[in-house]
Amino acid sequence: MRSAPKPHFFSKLRANTPEVVIDGSPPHFYRRNVTFKSETSTVPSIVLNDGNVIPQLGFGVFQVPAEDVVSAVTTALQVGYRSIDTAAIYGNEEGTGRAIRESGLPRDEIYVTTKLWNSDQGYDSTLRAFDASMQRLGLDYLDLYLIHWPVAAAERFVDTFRAFQALKSQGRVRSIGVSNFTVAHIQRLIGETGEIPVVNQIELHPRLAQRELREFHTANAIATEAWSPLGQGTLLDESAVTTVAAEVGRTPAQVIIRWHLQLGNVVIPKSVTPARIAENFDVFGFELSPEQMDAINALDTGSRLGGDPDTFTLGLID
């Protein structure tokens, strides 16, 4: 196997891919905060490397039961969320789509993401799986399609991304990206397809801050999106977090979400409790000081709660 090109090569693949810096103000349009096109919500958004924008705060439906997802997504949209993140493996695309369609909001005001499951990787199977997801969602187009895991042992994620490129060229998907990819996976993907994914959605929370991967993303104009942003609730009682929460008069969950936003991450907390859905959205009326950010940064131990992207093969079919 030929060696992957060095990271600096990637920024030359697209003329519209500017240089950026992590944890600071970007010098160009990439990741500049803008207002999403919604007229009913003012969540700040991030400009992706293809020129599309994604709301920086979204609503995730991982582990939300199918019988609860319509109510949860409806509540989220009523609160003001305009980005909904689901996946084929979650088993709730149908209810997610129903809530979106019945919300009364224009389709172009709601940013919808779903993900291709591991067993569907491969060019033709990806196209079939996309059709199935869209049928369940009941939507005409998708804002963002992600490869859920690299499952590199299957040697299919490159062909899968080529199918994503075809879907984008047909106008059925606005933006294409990946999830749980490492630097090596992304290097190979870009080197063999010539396209930079707009997003890498990864496990990211104060105990797994993923600084090196975020730096790579920023150097190559890839937005970082955090799943499990609250560490599955394990961080809410951390003294560093509760101390900051007391200082700013906010809840621990709000403090951690604010930490993500100030790092420049796209973040997708999830809940089925209406009060908590609203609480997680109310994070734009305060800021954390550099000292408070540092206190939370110090919690990083590199500890994962989910699978290791290098070895995760759930759903893989030989």
Q: Which residues are catalytic?
A: 90
Tokens of 221: 């104009």
8 A C-beta contact, residue 32 and residue 179:
no
Strand partners, 176: 145
H-run or E-run covering 60: strand 59-60
Q: What is the largest CA-CA distance in the chain?
A: 54
Q: Which residues contact 189 (CB under 8 A, 6 or more apart)?
A: 157, 158, 161, 178, 181, 197
3-state SS of 244-280? HHHHHCCCHHHHHHHHHHHHCCEECCCCCCHHHHHHH
Environment class of 299 (CB within 10 Å of its CB; exposed 0-12, middle 13-18, buried 19+): buried
Q: In what order do the strands lie in the sheet with 199-203?
A: 59-60, 83-85, 111-116, 142-147, 173-179, 199-203, 223-227, 266-267
Strand partners, 83: 111
The residue among 60, 108, 101, 92 whose CA lies nearest residue 267 is 60
